[in-house]
Structure formats: structure tokens, C-alpha cells
Structure 1
Amino acid sequence: MSTTKNTQSGPNLKFVLLISAVAALGGFLSGFDTSAMSGANGFLKQRFDLGTGMLGWTVSCLIIGCTVGAAFAGTLGDRLGRKKVMIGAGVLFTAGMGFSALASSLPLFIALRMIEGLGLGLTSALGPLYNAEVAPARYRGRLVALNQLAVVSGILLGSLLSFGITGMSEASWNTSTGWRVLLGSGVVPGILFLSLLSLVPESPRWLIKHGKPEKALPILLKIHGEELARQEVLDIKASFAEEAGMGHASFKELFANKHRTILLIGVLMAVFQQITGINAIMYYAPEIFRQTGAGTSGSLTQTVFVGLTNLIFTILSLWLVDKAGRKRLILIGSAVMTLSLTVIGYAFHSGNTAGPLVLAAILIYVAAFAVSLGAVVWVILAEIFPSRIRGLATAVCTMALWAANFAVSQSFPSLLASAGPAATFWLFAGASLFAFVFTWGAVPETKGKSLDEIEAMWQEKREHKDSLKPSLQKP
């Protein structure tokens, strides 16, 4: 290690950005699968003769695997290390995606998608957590939000591939072969993710927590420079000191009274990210645009516009999250989402879907989501929890996120068929309004605070609440 790096006065942003970008590639895999399935589901419906309920299950079965993977991510990450578990997750995704493209029957296809989902669930919990643990406080928001940038980049690339591959030949070829080529192409980013993980060090916080500060210090030196790195070691050691001899965090500890408020905020924010309808639009965008009268080619073209909008405004969120703050972005974004979803519902209710109104409202909705709930929720989940329970709590919240994703993805085709698109989008608008109200009243601002400062903030809130109890109990 060079003297220059050891004595640098500020963070080595090139190094931090490199390792954060690699960890965030797990999000790219998730986004790629979303748009690849969006392009393939119409052909899968014909290939396997699927009804609306079975189509929803074929798309959303992956999320069962994601939910299970997320449920075990905290325990596995705390015991084995963030890097090892991400490598295992990459193997599961690559194998599941590759073999599902070769599946000869629907049951086998579904089983392989669940295996793929296990990998995505693990990376969705551990990627943002890893980035939060290695990032300097000043840049943590945007580095954690890289996960969402990776997700939308995967969505855009998958949309472009869907447009290109399904446009290569006629519908009969797509029904027999095109969807296999589209899904099989996901093996390439999976192998890339596994290859680049060799460049990523283990989380220094994890190393210190497991009694290996001598291995953590060189990593922190590369991240912070000598003076800040040695102080960081002392701060991390101090935060773990009271945990000595306590073993790993348990679910009983996670659900204790002192953590209940933080956990409720994390779980609800994770659920809001999904029940406001984003993945219904991402998974079924071509179907939605077909209902407005667009043909197959036109619907896929409009889906590409959705992916491009998502990418542009997610990039904008990286710039805003550490400037405007987490809470302000969610408030503005959820308000705009509520209005745009209401307009979409009205357009379907009135039958005015032939013009550009629905496309424009969907693009505004996606833009608002991208700069708020899309990127910022991952930041909140990665930073609000105390260090002792962070891995387990992040896993529980990510599991709740995937469970909500499953509920929306599974029910959306049936909702469109039974309640109709107007009622469905108004339901999403109501969820967006609820997200606004909850954020206004319950979510604190964490911009610019270190992980240890955030932990101290919650401790102060608990102590203040406890100090009020005697006076509140007086007659």
C-alpha cells in the first residue's frame, strides 16, 4: 500500500465508488430480470397457455425465492461475511436464470425462477448494507442509492434487449425460442457480477465486529486516509464494545420494545416502495400499454421510454439524496406519484386512453418514484438501524419488501381483469398518499449523519421517551 493512500486527507472516492458499484450490481440483476420477464411474459402466456392467475404466479414465483433469500440474508451475512454471501447469491442467480431459459415444462421453469430469486433476495439485502458500511457519511446516501441506479440500469438494458430480441422474428418464434434467448442473456451480467466481486474487500465493520481489526484497518486506510481510518476503527470498536460476549443478534432482540419503532419505520417504508405500484408497471408495462390501444411494437417502445425515464431520474436522485435529504425527497415524490396515479386511473375511467395522457402520466409517476421511494428507501433501510441488529433488521425489511412485491405482482393481472385499470391505479394512488402521510409524521432526517450518530439519535429519542413516562403516568 502506497504512502500516498495511507496519508490522504480525504476519502479515496475512486476506490469507494468501485467497490460500491460492484456490490450494487446485485441490483442490476434484479432490474434485468424484471424487464426481461416483462418482455417475455406475453410469449410465456402463449407457450404454456396461462390464464391471468397463472401468469401472475409465473411472474411472481421468483419473489417467493427473493423473500426467503432476504429472510436469511441477515443471519448468513452476519455469520459468514457480506462478500461470501454475495458470491453465493451470484451463483444462485446465474444458475437459475440460465437453466430457466432451457426449461421444458412450467413446473421446472417455476422452480428454477425460485432458485434465481434466492440469489436476488440475498443481494438485495446485503448490497445496500455493504455500501452503507464502507461509505463515508458525507457520500453514503448516493453510494447506497447506487443499488437503485443499478436496478434501473438493468431494467433499461432488459427493455432494450426485449425490444431487440422479440423484434427479430415473428410471434411464433418468440413463443418457442425468443423468450429463452431473452432470459438466457441474463447469465452474462451474472458472470460479470461474480468476476468483479474478487475486487471487493470484506466489510471493515464486519471484520472489526468479528475481532479482526488488523484486516479492517488496511481497507479503512484505502477508504478514509490514515487519520480518519484510525479514528473510524476506534469508533466502530466503541460501538461494538457493549456487545462483547452477547453473541449474534436474535429475532427476540430485534422485536424488543427499544427497537420496535425503528423496525416499524423500516418495514413500512419497504412495503410502501412496492404497494405504490412500481413493479406492477415494470412487470406489466407492455400489457398496460396494449390496453391503451398500442400494438405489440408500440407497447414495447413505450416500455423502453419508461425504463429510460427511470434511469435518468435515478441518476438525478444520486445527486439530490445527500443535498435535499431523504425525507424531503420522499415527501415530494410520493405527492407527485399520488397525483399522477390518480390521473392514470381517471384516463382509464373516462376511456380517454388513446392519446399521450396515460404515457405522460406513467412517465411522471416513474420519475417521481425514481427520485424518492425508488432510491431513498434503500438508503433508509441501510442506515437507520443500530449496528448490532443492522444485518438482521435490514433482512427483515427486505423480506417485507419482496413479500409486498409478490402481493402486487401476483394480484395485478387479476385486479386489471376484475376491478379494471381505473380502480387498480386509484388503489396505488391511495397507497402513495398513505406513504406521504407516514413519512411526514414518522420518518426522521438522517442526511449527513454517520452510522454511529444515527444510532445515538435513536438512543436519545428512547431516553427522552422514557423520561416522560413517569409524568405521563401521573393522574
Structure 2
Amino acid sequence: MRLTLVAALGGLLFGYDTAVISGAVGSIDTVFIDPLHLSETWRNTLSGLTVSSALFGCVLGSVIAGGIADRYGRRTGLIVAAILFLLSAIGTAVPEAGLQPLGSTGLPALIAFNLYRLLCGAGIGVASMLSPLYIAEIAPKERRGQLVSLYQMAIVVGIVTVYFVNWLIARGGDAAWLDHIGWRLMLGSESLPAMLFLALLAGVPDTPRWLMLRGREAEALRVLQRVAGAVQAPQILSEIGASLKATAAPRLLGYGWTVILVGLALSVFQQLVGINAVLYYAPLMFRNLGAGSDSALLQTVVIGAANMLSTLIAIYAVDHLGRKPLLIVGAAAMALPMLLLGYLFSVHSQGGAALFCVLVYIVGFAMSWGPVVWVMLSEIFPGAIRGKAMAVVVAAQWITNLAVSWSFKVLDGNSFLNQWLNHGFAYYLYGLMSVLAGLFVWRCVPETAGHSLESIQGLWTRGGPRAAAPPAARAHDWA
């Protein structure tokens, strides 16, 4: 459990880094962009790119994470992520350091700020791949789903924590103080959890599966004895060794296209259902429905609370009910409220019905596609290609995230669509994607609950997912 909590800190920093910029957006515009005296279009474009610049780094980080994980180890990759988090926290707090006198504004400092945000995104990309991978490779099969789900909970906790930190900092002075000092404290505050993450990683081992991949059998046995006990450790070591010998060359397509396509589809659908558009633009959505600014922000807080509580449900249910049922039920729980929300927009309906739809949607996502997809991605790939495959599918996830986040503003602001559906088109689209996601899981995704990582590998070598034995038939397997 201790090793899981340490690795899950990567998820907390993921959430913290993603949301910390929200409290500093106004100050960043004032300090860096307004002095450039741009036209309204270019000002908004540059502001949007600055806020979302970390997403480009996320794609880069997830791409390089696979090579780092396979060559240098899962633990080393997490250390790299912690260092990137730390450097980005310090750099974004004082981006002009080394270029201009402290307190300087303008283009050089803005360029440096965006470069540091790219580092931040790279850290998120590395951690988003390696934290669930590390947990899956170190956890017993009976609790693997729960423990990997803690990663998603850590992301939510990181988001809620930084909202609270930003609120406390903002209370420290007026708007002028916030533009001068406050935004720096917000962005620099991430250095504290980053240093804690880096310090704790010094005391954790690498995973036994990576150690076996590198031929370090004695070290792998010691780690297994530590996490599984002296009695089970030799049997588990033998199973890992046998699974690694199943393919002569650990090529990405060594097990065929099917497993890669399943992983890609899970990653892409997790974003196409629209979760980040809903979370990023919830205040705008409620204002479009007629709510005032204060009411919109309050409703957003309610959404955050629902997200956290529903993730707790997933942590309990993922190993008891299985991955596949949760994903199918969750898809239905997202599709219906999104389709209804699109209708409410199209008929200019206001009031509590819209908030209810969003809450049901958030509950559906948080108890299923949020945590369960990370569980599935960390366990469906055979050990010999797990690092490479996760790098590909997580990069695809970040690219889709970026596309959905950008396209929402385009769809929501399109005058033709708004004359037709009054801001409702995007929500109809997310509802349709949720339906397709559920159908895909029903037809194409195997159940992995109760299987060891080594037995899951057999799903792709003995006739595909439909050849899977039920979990009870593999009760002797561990992790």
C-alpha cells in the first residue's frame, strides 16, 4: 500500500499541475499579455495558447515515457517526472529569472513561462503513463483495480487541493497584490508536493516485472518477497519469467494489432465523451443557461465534490463488479444526461435540471471511465510491450484531450449551430460518443478483473479477448 501511495502522488501532481493555472489566468493576462497591446483576436488566441500550453508538453511527455520506462525503469521515469514538476513550479513562478530583472513583463518572460509550462506538461505526460503502470505491476490481482483507481482519486484530490490553495492565496491581498505576487505563489506552491514526491521515490524499488525484463532476477525476487511474501514470491517470479519468454522480440506489434487498437479506443473514447470540456468550461456552460457568475462558480464546486465522491465508488466496485460492467453502465449514465442537456439548451430551458444532468454525467464518468480506463490500460498489455504500448495510447489520449478542449469553444461559439440548437450541439455530440463507447466495450473489450497480468497476456495469444477464461478459473494467479 505504501508503494501505491507514493506512485499515486504522480496523479496528485497531475491534477495539481493541470488546475493550478486556473487561479492565475487573469494575472498572467495582466502581467504578460496586456503589455503587448495586441488586437482582441490575437490577445485571446495568445491567452488561450498560454493556458493550454501544458497540453502540448503532455503529449511529448507521454511519448518519451515509454522509452524511459523500458530502458531505465518505472521508478526512474517517475523520478524524471518529479524533477520536471519541480523545475516547472520554480520556473513558472519566476519565468523572467536569468533573462530580465525580476518583475519584468513582456514577450521574453511570456516565452519563458510557456516553455516552463511545457516542462510541466511533460511531467504530467510521464506521470500519467508511469504512475498507473507502476501500481499495476506492483499490486496483487485481488486489489489491483482498487489500487490503480487510487491514481484517479489522487488526480481529483490534486485538483481540489490546488483550488483550495489558490483560494487561500487570493485572500492574501487585493487584485494588485495578486497580479504582483499572488500568481507567483500559486504556481510556485507546486514545488512542495514535487519535492515530497521526489524524496519518497528515493525509498521505493522498481517493479519486479521490469527487473525481470532486464535480467535482474535476484532483485525481482526480493521485491516480490517484500510485497507478496516469501511463500508466493517464487511462484510469481516463475510466472513472470514464463510470460516474458512467450515472445522472442518485444516489438510493439508482437501480439498483433488487436490489443493496441483496444487500448487506443479506450483512451480516445475516455476523452471523446467530453469530460474535459465539461470540467474546463462548466462556468461558461452554466452562464449560457442563464446563471450568474457567482452561481456558476458555486455549481462548479458542487461538480468537483460529486467527482471526488463518485471516484470512491469506483475504487470499491472495480474489483467487486468488474471493469466491463462499470464501463458499460458508466457510458449509459453519461449518454442520457448529455443528450438531455443538449435538449435543455435547444429549448432555452434554465434551472436545476441542467445542474442535475451535469451531476449525473460526472457521477457516471467518475465511477467508470475516469478510473477504470486507467486500470484497463495498465493491465491489458503484455509485459514485454507494456511500456511502449502505454506510451502510444496515453499520447493518443492527450492529443484527443487537446482536440476536445479546443473544439468545444469552436462548437459552442458557432453561430449557425447556436441558431439551430442554442449551444446544445456539443452535448448531443458527447452523448453520441458515450453511446458508441458503451457499444465498443460491450463488443470488443475483455473482462480483466480477477486475472493476473500474466494470464491477461494469454487473451491476446489464444484467440483474442473472447477466449478469456472466467476469473474463477484463474484463482491461483497473483498480480
- Say if 2:38 is the partner of 1:40: no
Alignment of 1:142 onto 2:142: no
Q: Kindly indicate whether residue 115 of structure 2 is the aligned counterpart of residue 119 of structure 1.
A: no
Q: Which amino acid aligns with 1:280?
A: A
**Counterpart AA for 2:252:** L
Equivalent residue, structure 1, for 2:395: 399
Aligned-residue Cα RMSD (Å) equals: 2.2
What is the DSSP-based 3-state SS (H/G/I as helix, E as strand, rest coil) of the residue aligned with 1:321?
A: helix
Partner amino acid, structure 1, of 2:84: L
Question: Do the aligned residues in 2 keep the contact of 1:163 with 1:300 (CA within 8 Å)?
Answer: no
The one-character-per-residue Cα deviations of 1:399-433 (angstroms, maximum 9, x if unpaired) are 11111111122233333222553112222222111
Match of 1:470 in 2: none
Listed as ranges, the matches of 1:189-228 within 5 Å are 189-228=193-232
CA contact (8 A) 2:54 2:118 kept: yes
Cα distance between partner residues in 1 of 2:349 and 2:191: 41
Match for residue 185 of structure 1? Answer: 189
Q: Is the 8 A contact 2:271 2:397 kept in 1?
A: yes
Letter in 2 for 1:259: G
Query: What is the 5 A alignment of 1:441-456?
Result: 441-456=443-458
* 1:111 to partner: Cα distance: 1.3
Q: Between Structure 1 and Structure 2, how many residues are aligned?
A: 441
Tell me the percent identity: 40
Task: Select 1:98's aligned residue among 74, 87, 90.
Answer: 90
2:15 maps to a residue whose letter is: G
Whole-angstrom CA distance in 2 between matches of 1:352 and 1:233:
60
Higher relative contact order (CA 8 A, sep 6+): 1
1:282-431 to structure 2, matched below 5 A, reads: 282-353=279-350, 355-418=351-414, 419-420=417-418, 421-431=423-433
Aligned counterpart, 1:4:
none
What's the counterpart of residue 7 of structure 2? Answer: 23
The residue number in structure 1 matching 2:259 is: 262
Matches within 5 A, 1:424-439: 424-439=426-441
Residue 150 to residue 440, structure 1, CA distance change in 2 (3 Å): same
Q: Distance in 2 between matches of 1:218 and 1:133?
A: 15
Q: Which stretches in structure 2 are left out of the alignment for 5+ residues?
A: 35-41, 96-104, 468-479
Q: Deviations over 1:250-305 (max 9, x none)?
A: xxx3246x420110110111011112111122233333334344444443333222
Amino acid at match of 1:451: L
Q: Secondary structure at the match of 1:274?
A: helix
User: Residues 7-60 of structure 1, C-alpha deviation per residue, up to 9 Å, x if partnerless?
Assistant: xxxxxxxxxx11011111111111112322333335544552575543432232
Name 1:57's counterpart in structure 2: 49
What letter is aligned with 1:147? Y
Change (3 A) 1:108 1:187: same
Per-residue deviation, residues 188-207 of structure 1 (Å, max 9, x unmatched) = 22112112112321111111
> Is residue 35–residue 282 contact of structure 1 (8 Å, CA) maintained in 2?
no
**Offset, 1:176:** 4.7
Maintained 8 Å contact 2:68/2:76: no
- The 1:45/1:440 distance shift into structure 2, 3 A limit, reads farther
Is residue 71 of structure 2 the alignment partner of residue 75 of structure 1?
A: no
In structure 2, how many angstroms separate the alpha carbons of the residues matched to 1:291 and 1:188? 38
Determine the C-alpha separation between the residues in 1 that align with 2:173 and 2:343: 37
Match of 2:39 in 1: none
TM-score (norm 2): 0.86
| CA distance in 2 between partners of 1:177 and 1:374 (Å) | 35
One-letter identity of the residue aligned with 2:278 = I
